[in-house]
Amino acid sequence: MFSDKDIAHFSNLETPFYYYDLNLLERTLKACEEASSVYKFHVHYAMKANFNPIVLKQIEKIGFGADCVSGGEVKKAIEVGFSKDKVVFAGVGKSDKEINDALDNDIFCFNVESVQELQVINELAEAKQKVAKVAIRINPNVDAHTHANITTGLDENKFGVNSWDMPACAAILNISPNLEFVGIHFHIGSQITNMDVYKNLCIRVNEFAAWFEDHGFKVTILNVGGGLGIDYHNPNGQIPDFKSYFKIFSDFLEVKPYQEVHFELGRALVGQSASLISKVLYVKNGKKKNFIILDAGMTELMRPALYQAYHKIENISPKSEVNSPESAIVKYDVVGPICESTDCFGKEVELPETFRNDLIAIRSTGAYGEVMASHYNLRENVQIVSSEEIK
Ligand code: LLP
């Protein structure tokens, strides 16, 4: 929800821009921190969701670690001030350079995604006379019941080591003095709203932890990944239900006294804290369709074009007639200016009758929004505005 002051401020700015509500971000982070600390769970923020420094600084301040998936993210996490012993590095295709840089930085742990990667990390660590801490990312074949493009934990997905490769991993770990096995890692998908999925994951984690312990490995870290979804239909001030989420893991994971449970949350921490604010360039009323053409496109927010993702679209124009109860409701296809038919934020969206220069907010864009922006069509860098500027 935007205040009159916010909207008056927006009206004077060049569009499009991402607006970050740092107050909501702080409340969300606190809620997560409080709910996780009840069980002494550790949270690493999945930086891929949003690596804008204003967001990262706030997350680092609350004491979370950083879950990185590239050398660039590892570097940025350390620059922003995340303690190196809270930086984990996952990713199915880590290059030798990325592994070497992470070894030089003495990060906490590599989440290893293939048998071959284990061998490579051992060789590179040996050359540096270092011991790399590793967790094995296991593909548990648990269905996340989410969009197919953001499911990661099924046998047909590229991520992690499959269960049948477990003996090969154990064999390499046994003969690799430059690897220190610390635990197991899972991540089954994103935007998960069905909590039963996490119960199923816990059952699999218990089985895999037992397998490693039976084979003589001490499993100290149980990293269950991230994936907690947000309510895209109700963006106003929504904070995810972290209490229920963490309780599932407390109820269903078998945690030994020497074990730590780690989480890698991205979307749930940052998703609701931003909106993409855009201006209406043109309105086209057709025989079959009405179009609103925005100055923001898939270059600023890729999710609808890529996954047909839903984001709530609101006309926040200050003009009273637009948002008055009497104003006519019209169905519009809300599209961007990019030369692609998939450059569409929503079809048949019901909005008050809308005019050139009205302000449109596309909500819940804090996660996988700004970070997935591109320069396609030689578009300019997307602008950022934070709530701090409006105080
Ligand atoms: N850990 C690993 C290993 C991951 O691959 C991911 C996300 C996360 C944690 C954080 O997941 P989250 O808590 O944010 O769901 N671009 C897509 C989402 C891709 C997620 C990739 N991995 C989207 O816009 O929906």
- Atom 8 in ligand 1: residue holding the nearest Cα: 226
Same domain, 252 and 232: yes
What are the φ/ψ torsions at residue 282 (nearest 5 degrees)?
-145, 155
Name the pTM for this structure. Answer: 0.96
Report yes or no: 207 and 142 within 8 Å, Cβ to Cβ.
no
- For the cut 60, the answer to whether the pLDDT of residue 46 exceeds it is yes
Bond from prior residue into 16 cis (ω within 30 degrees of 0): yes
Domain closes at, from 270, 304, 319: 270
Per-residue model confidence (pLDDT) at position 81: 97
Please report the pLDDT score of residue 380 as a whole number.
Answer: 95
- Does the beta carbon of 188 sit less than 6 angstroms from any atom of ligand 1? no
Q: Give the CATH number, domain containing residue 258.
A: 3.20.20.10
Q: Which residue range(s) make up the domain with 202?
A: 23-270
pLDDT for position 153:
62
Claim to verify: residue 256 and residue 121 sit in the same structural domain? yes
Is there a single domain that holds both residue 234 and residue 288?
no
- Catalytic residue positions? 339
Pocket probe mutation, ligand 1, options 110, 187, 311, max atoms within 8 Å of Cβ: 187
The pLDDT, as a whole number, for residue 391 is 74
Instruction: Give yes or no: residues 217 and 362 share one domain.
Output: no
Which ligand 1 atom is nearest residue 226's CA? 13
For ligand 1, is residue 43 a contact (CB within 6 Å)?
no
Both 189 and 305 in one domain: the answer is: no
Which of the listed residues 270, 299, 322 is the one where a domain comes to its end? 270
List the CATH number of the domain containing 356: 2.40.37.10
pLDDT above 90 for 98: yes
Q: What confidence tier does 319 reach under pLDDT thresholds 50, 70, 90?
A: low
The CA–CA distances, whole Å, from 1 to 314, 362, 364, 375 equal: 10, 12, 11, 30
DSSP states of 7-66: HHHHHTS-SSEEEE-HHHHHHHHHHHHHHHHTTT-EEEEEGGG---HHHHHHHHHHT-EE
User: Are residue 250 and residue 291 in the same domain, yes or no?
Assistant: no
Q: What is the pLDDT of residue 10?
A: 94
- Same-domain status, 96 and 236: yes
Helix (H) or strand (E) holding 284: strand 274-285
Please name which of 71, 57, 54, 64 lies closest in space to residue 34, comparing C-alpha atoms.
64
Half-sphere exposure of 284 (CA within 13 A, CB side): 11
Please say which residue of 252, 270, 288 terminates a domain: 270
Q: Which two tokens stand for residue 350?
A: 């019901």
Looking at the structure of the chain, the number of domains it has is 2
* Whether residue 207 is found in the same domain as residue 290: no
Annotated binding site: 227, 264-267, 303, 307, 340, 368
How far, in Å, CA of 47 to CA of 66, rounded?
6
Candidates 21, 67, 4, 11; CA nearest to 275 is: 21
155 lies in the same domain as 302? no
Q: How far is CA 166 from CA 160, 169, 170, 253, 307, in A?
A: 11, 5, 6, 21, 33
Q: Are residues 51 and 106 in the same domain?
A: yes
What does the pLDDT look like over 178-224, one tens digit per residue? 999 999 999 999 999 999 999 999 999 999 999 999 999 999 999 99
Q: Residues forming the annotated binding site for substrate?
A: 267, 303, 307, 340, 368
152 shares its domain with 264 = yes
Looking at the fold, whether 245 and 362 belong to one and the same domain comes out as: no
